[in-house]
Structure 1
């Protein structure tokens, strides 16, 4: 076990570990883990929102309900480690509407996998996964400092008016900065305007006369 990290806030638990080149992510809550694979965002967790069909079915089967996107009208998360104090959320047998069971995803890392972003819900309220990867990748290319990159992601989320918890972890899989990708040159498509078509038609008509 090379690395073991825990990232806690009042609404989520994110646990990931790396064994050789295998990444294991376990999530219970509405935070998210995203791997950057050569500039492409690969989501390693699923947000546990009560309004998601799969979570809503589980909640209702355990005697709970979803009202206006909230679990039992109180909590905007379907899975969590805490929140035991809320009445009717967790049964003694662990089968209450608020589950503490994490979902697990595993990925065998390759040389194209560059870094991992872990962020709580306040981050993803204002960033899409690909948007966050693009932002972090540009910053790492500038200074290759994951600590500074975390601060810049949080600062940017605040600028974007995030109104929820903001916790971010960036883990780089390589000691060097992400390389600059050379995009293929886009094909130039040329089209003739309506005026050009009219002039061409007039020229052809004059030839016919």
Structure 2
């Protein structure tokens, strides 16, 4: 039943000259291990990012999590400045109860090795993304295939070895431009249906900086000392801020769906629902950003499509992964466990999960030594005499 759609970008790509990058970036595909492709059907399910979910469930799905706006972007001066994450990741995907698989994802634990001479990034550097398609697999597949070219060449990505406030600002501006470039590219590509779209969540790590960009209802959750911290906000029509923006731009929310059709308010593609280029539209490709400086308290990051979060809270997912890492220390297995848990909880969507660990493979939290417990008991004089008589009779039986 499992239809794995895993993309592992962990092999090295030949160094590319800057001028050759645009025409050669497709070579990355040659070193990406992709699950067997799923043929495009003639017709798809309704163009909904997900089936109906109760508004109460969605509004409460992030209620148990520490708000990210309470996390300072900069670490206090007293924090350990010597800490740098040692990255390793794993993923798992399943078609779930759907007829077709429309999710895509990508993992790159060492970004420099893929971009060659284009990169001058702080170490470590990494790129992760989950793209949850709807209205067919074309849009999500296009984004996964072209994301490196459009993000790191078309968007004039910052190239510096220093992570400071200027780098953070340039990175955010570049990612915002990249999301819009991808959105426009989907409009121009004839192989992608105008009714096909995809949500997109990307996470980048440069040195100790974690930057998450999100458009849609995928979610990134950081585990800090066992506590779930949302690094993204779901973009759904039922949320007051998104509903207000939609209605101000002429859209409407009908039974929890944008214009009665789509269960998200931000996505790439879906050009049959967007206004002409240059016009403000209720459905937008504008990402929201959240960032944090990682410390030794940060254990791992979970990135998952909405099929996970429709049936599971952020804290539930963090607790499950944390137990798994302490037991077997395998992020691939943890991703699979999350998918299996969502299936057990009767999710109704495709499922894709990435787990990114910030510690080396041999790192484990030391288990406290259990003190040997000695149990003492006392015997009455009568019991002691009975015990002595029993031992004496047993001894004489051996003689």
Match of 1:179 in 2: 365
Count the aligned residue pairs.
180
Alignment of 1:47-66 (within 5 A): 47-66=234-253
Q: Summarize the alignment of residues 1-209 of structure 1 with structure 2, pairs less than 5 Å apart.
A: 1=121, 2-10=125-133, 11-84=198-271, 86-87=272-273, 89-175=274-360, 176=362, 179=365
Between the aligned partners of 2:254 and 2:329, the Cα distance in structure 1 is 44
Q: TM-score, normalised by structure 1?
A: 0.82
More helix by share: 2
- Where in structure 2 are there 5+ consecutive unaligned residues? 1-120, 134-197, 369-399
What is the distance in 1 between the residues matched to 2:364 and 2:233? Answer: 26
Unaligned runs of 5+ in 1: 183-209
Runs of 4+ in structure 1 deviating by more than 6 angstroms, as ranges, are: none
Q: Give the distance between the partners of 1:155 and 1:67, measured in 2 at CA.
A: 32
Distance 1:133 1:54 in 2: 27
Greater strand percent: which structure? 1
- Higher relative CO (Cα under 8 Å, sequence separation at least 6) belongs to 2
- Taking the aligned partners of 1:165 and 1:28, their CA distance within structure 2 comes to 18
Shift of 1:180: 6.8
Deviation at 1:6, TM superposition (A): 2.3
1:207 corresponds to which residue? none
Which structure is larger by alpha-carbon Rg, 1 or 2? Answer: 2
8 Å contact kept, 2:226–2:322:
yes
Q: Is the contact between residue 200 and residue 268 of structure 2 (CA under 8 Å) also seen in structure 1? A: yes
How big is the alpha-carbon RMSD for the aligned residues of Structure 1 and Structure 2? 1.6
Task: Give the superposition deviation at 1:28.
Answer: 0.2
- Normalising by structure 2, we get a TM-score of 0.44
CA distance in 1, matches of 2:207, 2:338: 28
Q: Provide the residue aligned with 1:186 in structure 2.
A: none
